């Protein structure tokens, strides 16, 4: 683990986000800062609802519309990454706002970052082949995480026992 560089990272992500907003002359309201803090912390991959819950602890009157507006703003200026989860709501990631692969549990919707090399070669080839101007990509793997696998085995065992009776 590397807690030190993690907090360094969140600090700098916070600074980066704030600079970008300032540079583009967006206003730094308390609610907006609170959203930034949640996403810059880089802990997990929260949904809008989860961000809202956390922000409301500090500013209880914060509306979900404000969270949506802020998250969409941050997405538009490429300061957060949006991850769509089949069968779940969208998740947001401020720690690494560039495309990178994930592993997603189809049971508990847990999201884990992966670190493969960049797909630059493939991207270039695809641009050449299709005439698209490629701007981003997503590479996500879906499966069942260790925890949910154990739970499934338990359930199977229970089911078998029930049948055996």
Name the site residues for DNA (rule: CB under 7 A): 26-32, 47-49, 59, 61-66, 68-70, 72, 88-90
Q: Residue 47's beta-bridge partner residues?
A: 91
Q: Residue 44's binding partner, choosing from DNA, its own copies, none, with beta-carbon cut-off 5 to 8 A by kind?
A: none
- Which of 58/157 has CB closer to DNA? 58
Judged by CB under 8 A, the stretch of 27-35, 39-47, 54-62, 135-143 that binds its own copies is 135-143
The encoded tokens of residue 80 equal: 């957060």
- Which of 22/159 has CB closer to DNA? 22
Residue 128 dihedral angles phi and psi, to the nearest 5°: -60, -45
**How would you label 105-137 residue by residue, b for 16+ Cβ within 10 Å and e otherwise?**
beeebbbeeeeeeebeeebeeeeeeeeeeeeee
CB 127 within 8 A of CB 112: no
- Which of 12/156 has CB closer to its own copies? 156
Minimum distance of its own copies from residue 10's CB (angstroms):
23
Q: Residue 69's binding partner, choosing from DNA, its own copies, none, with beta-carbon cut-off 5 to 8 A by kind?
A: DNA
């Amino acid at each position: 683990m590397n807690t030190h560089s993690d907090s360094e990272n969140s600090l700098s992500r916070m600074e980066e986000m704030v600079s970008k907003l300032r540079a583009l002359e967006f206003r730094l309201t308390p609610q907006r800062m609170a959203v930034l803090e949640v996403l810059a912390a880089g802990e997990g991959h929260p949904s809008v609802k989860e961000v809202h819950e956390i922000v409301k602890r500090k500013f209880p009157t914060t509306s979900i519309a404000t969270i949506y507006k802020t998250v969409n703003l941050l997405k538009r200026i490429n300061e957060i990454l949006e991850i769509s989860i089949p069968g779940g709501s969208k998740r947001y990631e401020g720690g690494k706002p560039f495309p990178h692969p994930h592993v997603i549990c189809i049971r508990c919707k847990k999201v884990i970052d992966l670190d493969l090399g960049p797909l630059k070669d493939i991207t270039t080839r695809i641009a050449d082949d299709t005439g698209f101007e490629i701007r981003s990509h997503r590479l996500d793997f879906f499966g069942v995480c260790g925890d949910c696998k154990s739970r499934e085995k338990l359930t199977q065992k229970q089911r078998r026992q029930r049948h055996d009776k």
